[in-house]
Amino acid sequence: MRARGLFPYVLILPAFAVVGFISFYPTLYSFFLSLHSFRRGQQTFVGLRNFEQILNSAGFYESLRLTLVYGLFFVSLTLLFAFLLALAFNRKLGYTGVFMTTIFIPWMLSEIVTGIIFRWLFLPGYGLLQELFSPLFGNITFLGHPQGAMGVVVGATIWRTLAFAMLLILAGLQTISSEVYEAAAIDGATGWQIFWYITWPLVRPTTLVVVLLLSLQAVNSTGLFLSITNGGPGRATEVLSVMMYREALVFFNFGYGAALAVVMFFVNAILAAVYLRTMRSEIVV
Amino acid sequence: MAVISTQAPSSVARLTLRQRSNVVLFLTLALVSLLVIFPVIYAIFTSFKPRGFGLARDLLAGGFYLGNYELLLSTPRFVRQIFNSFVMSFGGGVITTTAAAMAGYAFGRFSFRGRTVLLSILLAVMMLPGLTNLIPLYKIASDLGLRDTYLIMILVYAAYGIPFGTWVMVGFFRSIPTDLEEAAKVDGATPFQAFWLVVLPLAAPGLTAVFITNFVYNWNDFLAALVLLSSTAMKTAMVGLFDFQNQLTGNNNELLIAACVLIMLPGVVLFVLFRNAFLRGMLEGALKG
């Protein structure tokens, strides 16, 4: 329909007012804050000193490394399990709807509830999974061990995200028509050949999108770290987002925290740009 | 698969092989689902145990004990924080649904100057990382005296929900034929009346989907509430849980788990009841930007 004067603009006004105040304005404001220092309620302009401080601190690079390690394990393992599950669900066995609903329930739990349940499962000395798994990992106390604690957070994140990743891959698989598979079966292709020459090339774009979405989630993951390890033991799980949270909202180093936020903003923007490009070029909807 | 079975005699054996592998696959899916849901079931069992019985390897040890729930529901702080969660989630849902319906109608129905750019800008917000935004927002809300209020949380939840809600509504309005509005206008209705009285009732399923999904996401929010709320009386149930976890060092885990079970309930129940709306929403949000 053609526009009737101001009517469409009036209709979009409330949406833009709320989003402008809560999302756009603070993002711009964080650039301003990042150029200042806040000491004893005094706001002073310090130029790029906060960024200098970030790039010169060993803590930043350690947090960056932890974020990458976390992201690598979380994204690759989630993708692997989600792919296997999606292939299984794609066989359309019937009566699998209840399984689908079941594995989605963790996605409907908040990060803090997930965190408390995992802390309970890995309670030092007594937790069910602590007892079950510790013989496999040299009898460590998971939550008291640097890599062990990271492993618990990775596990909790996979548990929560698996169904979501599976659903997206399943949607990709379902765009492949069954005729293609039937033709391949008649021509005598083996299961592995069918997967490698038909399924994989056709779901590759969806998989790429899932990898990018999971990476975005990994970079920004905060809640599960706060609830399960709170950055500990020591600073062994202090990923970038946890570092940012602590600097800005525990130590009230607003300038420094905002500068970290700006760095994170650009990391996100790059990932988001790649994601949007992938969507445009690869996915035809 | 009927196609294969009509091909040749040898394919009969292949079919039974396939059937057998289907049974194995079905059982594997059942087992995986059971493993995935196990922590939740374990938590539910634990919540019905008296203090100290949670770690017993027997799931039924300690009998069927309701004391944890009785204690929680008679603790004013807990009830108050559940109430706060409800008000903020509901308020956020109402504003999200209203603003998304209006904007979705504008973007879905009309062509106007700047339409594409404005829609892209609104959708780009979905890509803004949460915590990065919350640090400056904390400062802004403090300066305006809005920290620790229902208002700021309702606005934050609305801002999180509006871009995605608008996207869902654009698709919904496009699926409704324009004939009825045209007829309403011929009968002398203003554009607003046509929208409000004719189109909106037809879009009710879309509005419900947007509201329910937004409500659950708000209910489950932890980070925004953690950053923007500081007094015990204003905190949401999720932040209350975080405090509870930190205060209690290995003491009454059964009580803490019972609080988790109560707090997870609205999200889980709404998901099970409206799962198609959730699943469709997730697909649209992720794959059709």
- Of A199, A159, A173, A168, nearest to A78 by C-alpha is A159
Contact between B166 and A283 using a beta-carbon 8 Å cutoff: no
Domain span including residue B51: 2-67
> Is the domain of B127 the same as that of B266?
yes
Residue pair A62/A145 in contact (Cβ under 8 Å)? The answer is no
**CATH number of the domain encompassing residue B248:** 1.10.3720.10
- On the 0-12 / 13-18 / 19+ scale of CB atoms within 10 A, A97 is exposed
- Minimal Cα–Cα distance from B233 to chain A, Å? 19
Q: Is B229 exposed, middle or buried (0-12, 13-18, 19+ CB in 10 A)?
A: buried
Q: Show which of B67, B91, B124 is a domain's final residue.
A: B67
What is d(CA A53, CA A13) in angstroms, rounded to the nearest whole number?
41
Q: What is the domain count for chain B? A: 2
Residues B62 and B88 in one domain: no
Q: What is the pTM of this model?
A: 0.89
ipTM entry: 0.88
Question: Residue B224: closest CA among chain A residues belongs to which residue?
Answer: A223
The reported pLDDT for the residue numbered B7 is 45
* B82 and B22 within one domain: no
Alpha-carbon distance of B103 to B88, in angstroms, equals: 22
Domains of chain A with bracketed CATH:
49-282 (1.10.3720.10)
Structural domain ending residue among the three candidates B40, B67, B94: B67
Of A132, A185, A270, A116, the closest CA to residue B129 belongs to A270
Per-residue pLDDT of chain B (289 residues; tens, 9 = 90+): 334 444 444 555 556 777 788 888 899 999 999 999 999 999 999 999 888 887 777 777 777 888 889 989 999 999 999 999 999 999 999 999 999 999 999 999 888 999 999 998 998 888 777 788 898 999 899 999 999 999 999 999 999 999 999 998 998 888 888 888 888 888 888 888 888 888 888 888 889 999 999 999 999 999 999 999 999 999 999 999 999 888 865 568 889 999 999 999 999 999 999 988 888 888 877 765 4
Name the helix (H) or strand (E) containing A38: strand A36-39
**Neighbouring residues of A176: CB distance < 8 A, sequence distance ≥ 6:** A198, A199, A202, A203
Average pLDDT over residues A170-186: 84
Tell me, yes or no, whether B30 and B52 share the same domain.
Answer: yes
Asked if residue A152 lies in contact with residue A228, where contact means CB atoms within 8 angstroms, the answer is yes
Q: Given an 8 Å threshold on Cβ–Cβ distance, is A268 in contact with B129?
A: yes
Nearest to B46 by CA among A123, A143, A230: A123
Query: For B126, which DSSP code?
Result: G
Residue A81 near residue B236, CB atoms below 8 Å: no
A218 touching B (Cβ < 8 Å)? no
pLDDT at B89: 97
Maximum separation of any 2 CA atoms in chain A, in Å: 77
Q: Which of B55, B140, B241 sits opposite A26 (nearest CB)?
A: B140
Which residue of B43, B140, B250 is in closest CB contact with A117?
A: B43
Same domain, B37 and B149: no
CB contact under 8 A, A105 and B127: no
| Residues B289 and A279: beta-carbon distance below 8 Å | yes
Residues A206, B37: C-beta atoms closer than 8 Å:
no
- Measure A179 CA to nearest chain B CA, in Å: 10
| Nearest Cα residue to B131 out of A201, A257, A41, A186 | A257
Integer Rg of chain B from CA = 25
In the numeric block, which tokens belong to residue B182? 């045209």
In angstroms, the separation between the Cα of residue B270 and the nearest Cα of chain A is: 9
